[in-house]
């Protein structure tokens, strides 16, 4: 089942502080160890130098990518 794992982001703005704290605790306990051990890894589509942030943003808005778009210093 790990091959089809999806990490999805969401806005937490309307949630209570207690709810947000519980989510953060679960992430630290359950997800961070998997990331640290390499059991799960994000898919990096492309990395841009910081000077090309506008190009990276344009790619993100185009939805022509699968995976993460990174900015590197």
Q: What is the per-residue pLDDT across 12-22, written as a single tens digit (0 to 9) for each?
A: 888 999 999 99
Q: Which among 37, 36, 43 has a CA at the least distance from the CA of 3?
A: 43
**pTM of the model as a whole:** 0.57
pLDDT of residue 2 exceeding 90, the answer is no
pLDDT of residue 1 exceeding 80, the answer is no
Dihedral Cα 53, 59, 61, 63, nearest 10 deg: -150
């Amino acid at each position: 089942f790990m091959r089809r794992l999806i990490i999805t982001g969401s806005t937490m703005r309307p949630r209570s502080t207690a709810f947000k704290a519980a989510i953060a605790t679960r992430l630290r306990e359950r997800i961070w160890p998997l990331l640290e051990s390499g059991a799960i890894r994000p898919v990096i589509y492309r990395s841009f130098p910081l000077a090309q942030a506008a190009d990276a943003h344009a790619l993100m808005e185009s939805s022509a990518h699968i995976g993460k778009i990174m900015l590197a210093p």
